[in-house]
Amino acid sequence: MNRSGLSAAALISLLLGAWEGAVRLWQIPVFILPPPSRILETAVLQATVLLPHAAVTGAEICLGIFLALATAVPLAVAMFAKPVLEKALSPFLVASQAIPVFALAPLLVIWLGYGIASKVFMAWIIIFFPITVSLLQGLKSCDAEYRILFSLMGAPFFKTLALLYWPWALPQFFAGLRVGVSVATIGAVIGEWVGAQQGLGFLMIQSNARLQTPLVFAAILWLTAMGLFLWALVGILEKKIITWKS
């Protein structure tokens, strides 16, 4: 492990130790604040309870990411190809971010029901924007001299896109995707809070009402792990794909 990894691990252990010590010292009831050891214990022992809910939330997140990719990439490319489109659409893109999407969650349940669709939609709205914006910026950041070279070679737009613009934009695309996947869990969980029959967000609300606080924390732990896993996955994918130094 490198130096920064080591110091991060040390800081985390220190915080967890302080938490554990404080709970024990002041004898804080478990339903108010369970100690980390209890949370970890619940997260492991209750895995059979957590797993089906995690599977649902995971499916929502993955579908949301997939939908976001399937829509953000073509839109960013279209806006890049036709600046008129960018001018026309960018106010809507910005406005879509100004709307507090969480306020839409109850409406989405009315429109799309208590099932998985409303949560996928929430995740999609949240992921869509960072991917679109960062990919568009990446495409636009291509140096003029390279564009000139390709235009002198007589390369049509889609060939230039495949050979030049797309690889050029990849680092920024991945930066957007990384932001996207790390906020995706938020979208899915908020959707589940408002109305659902399964999922980690649903489990949290249920356990919260029953004062099963360790289970609430265990669900948060699982969510965090899922978010970190996706984040790391994007990082690995990025390293596999971007093998060159710019």
3-class secondary-structure state, position 100: coil
Task: Identify whether the C-beta of residue 187 lies closer than 8 Å to the C-beta of residue 126.
Answer: yes
Which of 40, 89, 112, 155 contacts another protein by CB under 8 A?
A: 155
39 sits near another protein (criterion: CB under 8 A): no
Number of residues that bind another protein (CB under 8 A): 21
Q: Which stretch binds another protein (CB under 8 A): 1-9, 22-30, 158-166, 179-187?
A: 158-166
Which of 44, 94, 148, 236 contacts another protein by CB under 8 A?
A: 148
Token duo for residue 190 = 């908020």
80 sits near another protein (criterion: CB under 8 A): no
Q: Which stretch binds another protein (CB under 8 A): 14-22, 43-51, 93-101, 150-158?
A: 150-158
3-class secondary-structure state, position 182: helix
Q: Which stretch binds another protein (CB under 8 A): 5-13, 146-154, 196-204, 208-216?
A: 146-154
CA atoms within 13 A on the CB side of 135: 29
Token duo for residue 238 = 């990025």
151 sits near another protein (criterion: CB under 8 A): yes
The rounded distance, in Å, linking the Cα atoms of 127 and 181 is 7
CA distances from 197 to 49, 116, 201 (A): 14, 9, 10
150 sits near another protein (criterion: CB under 8 A): yes
Token duo for residue 232 = 């790391």
Residues in the site for another protein, rule: CB under 8 A? 145-146, 148-156, 159-160, 163-164, 167, 242-246
